[in-house]
Amino acid sequence: MNRQYAALLAVACAIPLAGCGFITGSEPLAFSASPATASDEAVSETGYEQRAQRTQNVTRNFTVADQTRQVEVTNQLAKYERDISLGPLGSQRAGVFVAVASPEVEVAGQAFNPIEDLSERELLAQSNSQYSAISVGSQVGSENVTTLGQSTAVKKFEGTATLAGTPVDVYVHATKFRHEGDFVVAVGIYPQQTDGEAANVLTLIGSLEHSGSE
């Protein structure tokens, strides 16, 4: 080991964020988000029901001091659904709300976030919702909502999706912001023919609870 690399290793081992085991390759560096969930009061008020709360693991390689090491990221996902009457389709779990928290990762000046470029369609696909073949179209609106002590822009998009084998015109609401060391993403989707569902989605976003990275 040359003197320059030895000096870099000594400095790296002194940084609590990375740790000597990560630099030497003896162990991966792990980051975990805290769950972001809608409040019980808002869930009850809007008629939604929590259907799932689970983790998503993402692995990424980082190069530090000319050595490639593995970083493990644990995201948190919470999914809520509401039954909506859709005429000939009957009652379907057509109101879907998903909240995802992902830790902000920075190692030796390099940063990444596994959900930074995640589209609304990809996020909903990962939620295993009732919808399939989701296509998100043009943005048709935006509204600021106060959540977790800050204002965030909630964008509204037109879209189409398949529900119970039938094409349905939908609206998709989406927002993303940082809170206590995590990225928080919230997405709501519902049929365009439904009255009042936008208010329910905004209520759920405004009620989010999140304590920050673990």
Tell me, what's the pLDDT at 129?
Answer: 63
Tell me, what's the pLDDT at 7?
Answer: 33
Q: Are 121 and 71 in contact (CB under 8 A)?
A: no
pLDDT band of 106, cuts 50, 70, 90: confident
Tell me, what's the pLDDT at 68?
Answer: 77
CA torsion 70-185-48-192 (nearest 10°) is -130
pLDDT digits (tens, 9 = 90+) for 28-80: 688 899 999 999 999 999 999 999 999 988 887 777 667 777 888 898 999 99
- The residue that leads in pLDDT, 35 or 107, is 35
Domains, the chain, in order of start with CATH, read 32-58+74-206 (3.40.1000)
CA distance 180 to 29: 19
Stated pTM of the model: 0.81
